[in-house]
Structure 1
Amino acid sequence: MSIVETEEQVGLLWGLRGSLLAYARRVRARVELGGGAGVLGDGESFHFPLVDQSDFEPQMLAGVIRFQGWVRIVAHQGAMDIRVSEPHLTVRDHVGVLSARARSDEAAQRLDLIEARLQVPTCDGSTLMWSDCDTVLSPGGVGLFEGRYDVGEEFAPLTARIRWRGSVADRAVLGTG
């Protein structure tokens, strides 16, 4: 398992759902990571490295941000098998929709898993960050989580950090400069 030492790296931090991870620990589920994904030292959040933000317009705070890697939780001899692969965050009007593939192959359908309420991001001059954003389950995510949760149920907060290429004037518009 790849342990991520810091939360300061560009990428997506998301812990799926706390009760799901607690259950996985209790039943000694197998947690697998691949494709560059890692887990924070506390074991409560997964890190998906940033792979592409070329379809994201930072000055408009809109577009698609792509991350790489996958997390798989397997228990009960495969009866529980949850996989989140290659997450994308689509940002528009202070809402982020996190989608992912339920399998690792390119033919796998992309599912909208959660919606995140995005506050105004912070900018430190080199990165733009939405921190600890509240999330709820989307209709597309119900099947991935095997019907255990209802649409609108709270999931773990997410944090996204991407590279910033804007000017000081752009940072002032964000309220961070």
Structure 2
Amino acid sequence: MNQCHLVVYSLHKLKKQNGSTIVEAIVAMFVLSFGVLALMLAQITAVHTSINAANQGEVTRAVQNYIELMNSEARISLKEKLDENKNKILYIAKDYSNFDDANCNNRLNIHLTNAQITSCTIRNGKIDVSWSGQALDKNDKNNNVNNNSFSYTLTAGQ
């Protein structure tokens, strides 16, 4: 008896793959790099927000401390006025004019992080402080609106 052996050759012989291909590795690195960039952006935004909040707290503290000084050292005078029935009414008036200052940076002793005070005035017992905050993108075109400007105002005697 004659035996015939059938030999089959496949053009696409299956090979067991070990590891990943270079294309898969490049795609994985690309996806990973976008994830890292997104995380970095979130961290930068969080730092930006916390620095601006710390600056706002510093300005608030300095202004409130100086208002306390103004309230304790204000000039006090006794004034009178007439009501609609011509009754004389006596009242105490506080005068804060001795504290007036067009540039009160040194008086308030404000120390900001990555920001500059743009104006600081004291007039008639009212303190106005404006400062520019930390910008994420200084070349940002935002229709002439400065989203990095902050201000705080407090009036003595309130």
The normalised TM-score by structure 1 is 0.22
Higher-strand-fraction structure = 1
Higher-helix-fraction structure = 2
